[in-house]
Chain A
């Protein structure tokens, strides 16, 4: 006798949204710190640092998230001689993945600030870090917000891939419920709806911010 999809199954899937959100948050914050460092290193005059950070970005943007998860999951096991829990592997992989994407987005934002801003702040005898902190980053941050929110949507959706290596978030919770209720027609659309409920408002926010910033910058909005 199968279990049917009732209230407790529904709540189990909905409650798992918190793990999706927590994983996204950890990866976004960790990746944010890493991404900021990468974006700054990518725009320095040191050729070596630029090559190094570019290699990092190419590596993480040129390989599938699933493969990154596998390599970290089994790689940590190799390093520590024991099979670790999925959490650290998944959190580490998604943090490094976010760092690469955010680094690339923010590099673009820093480079979009006209050279004259650097020169003007240098004329005011601000040091390199003062120029970044007080002149460049505040302006770059403004233009970087819409693509950053857009990436957050991508990150939240991609955390579903952690389900494949057994990390229980909303997609995995859905799979577990399908395994006992045999009602994929109910469960998977519900899972999709939960992602949609989280991602769609963020997508709309990104679009509105983009429109507003473009209007401020006097660019004809057409995207």
Chain B
């Protein structure tokens, strides 16, 4: 109990921490955007694709959801180069996050798609809409509305999980904190403050995504 806290050292490096937080936000937002596109394609394939494709998507989802994110990162960053597929740490981190979010997103979207009544789809068919048109206009939008809260929490989980990519020294908040720790020898103070930054980001994202939900789904409903 004789530890002298030196939080002033952390304050001296606030610019680095802010930059790290910004990098984490960028990385997570980019991974979510691409991951959501992957999830939409996979969910469509799973709902309406031919059966081999459906099985392939199901395998992808099950494998990703039942293995740790850290091991997925290691496979992309360390294992794939032995097959000649070599990527930098940041690209590997982004790829791992996209693949991970894609699998969870597929499963979430599937639940939303299955909540659309058969009557809606029959009605779309009766109006002469093609399969893709039906998916886009009749199924996807209401499905997204139903599962938006689940997607939002999955996104926050992704943002928090992104701290793990520091293990391959991809640049984000945790990796920057690690390097500050190794130059200042103040691990407790820096990790404590970085944890606080993550908490602020998680709460901030929750508020922002709640706002997005209102803008996109609720406001439209009122008109």
Q: Which residues of A contact B (CB under 8 A)?
A: 58-59, 61-68, 70-71, 74-75, 77-79, 81, 153, 157-158, 160-161, 163-164, 171, 174-175, 178, 183-185, 188-189, 191-192, 195-196, 199-200, 203, 222-223
Q: Interface segment, B46-54, B75-83, B87-95, B125-133? A: B75-83
Q: Which 6 A-B pairs have the closest CB atoms?
A: A160-B68, A62-B202, A64-B163, A184-B78, A199-B66, A70-B191
Which of A62, A74, A171, A185 is close to B71, meaning CB atoms less than 8 Å apart?
A171
A199 to B67, Cβ gap below 8 A? yes
B223 close to chain A: CB less than 8 A: no
B187 close to chain A: CB less than 8 A: yes
A67 to B194, Cβ gap below 8 A? yes
B5 to chain A, nearest CB (A): 8
Q: Which residues of A contact B115 (CB under 8 A)?
A: 222
B70 to A161, Cβ gap below 8 A? yes
Q: Which residues of A contact B62 (CB under 8 A)?
A: 200, 203
B195 to A71, Cβ gap below 8 A? yes
Q: Which residues of A contact B163 (CB under 8 A)?
A: 64, 66-67
Main secondary structure of the interface of A (DSSP, over half): helix
B56 close to chain A: CB less than 8 A: no
Interface size class of B (residues with CB under 8 A): 35 or more
B191 to A67, Cβ gap below 8 A? yes
- Chain A: CB-nearest residue to B63: A196
Which of B3, B70, B83, B156 is close to A160, meaning CB atoms less than 8 Å apart?
B70
B70 to A79, Cβ gap below 8 A? no
Count chain A CB atoms within 10 A of each CB in B2, B70, B167, B194 and give the residue with the most: B70
A158 to B198, Cβ gap below 8 A? no
- Chain A: CB-nearest residue to B153: A61
B75 to A192, Cβ gap below 8 A? yes
Q: Which residues of B contact A63 (CB under 8 A)?
A: 160, 195, 198-199, 202
> Given A66-B163, A222-B115, A71 and B188 touching (CB < 8 A)?
yes
Given contacts A81-B1, A192-B63, 11 further A-B contacts (CB under 8 A): A62-B199, A62-B202, A62-B203, A63-B195, A64-B164, A78-B3, A161-B164, A188-B79, A195-B66, A203-B62, A203-B65
B40 close to chain A: CB less than 8 A: no
What separation, in Å, do the CA atoms of A133 and B114 have in the docked complex?
A: 37
A64 to B160, Cβ gap below 8 A? yes
B134 close to chain A: CB less than 8 A: no
A192 to chain B, nearest CB (A): 4
> Given A67-B194, A222-B111, A58 and B203 touching (CB < 8 A)?
yes
- Chain B: CB-nearest residue to A164: B167
B188 to A75, Cβ gap below 8 A? yes
B78 to A81, Cβ gap below 8 A? no
> Given A79-B1, A157-B67, A178-B78, A164 and B195 touching (CB < 8 A)?
no
Q: Which residues of A contact B65 (CB under 8 A)?
A: 203
| Interface mask (B110-137 → A, CB under 8 Å = 1, otherwise 0) | 0100110000000000000000000000
A66 to B174, Cβ gap below 8 A? yes
B74 close to chain A: CB less than 8 A: yes
B199 to A59, Cβ gap below 8 A? yes
Count chain B CB atoms within 10 A of each CB in A61, A189, A192, A200 and give the residue with the most: A192
> Given A67-B194, A222-B115, A184 and B67 touching (CB < 8 A)?
no
B192 close to chain A: CB less than 8 A: yes
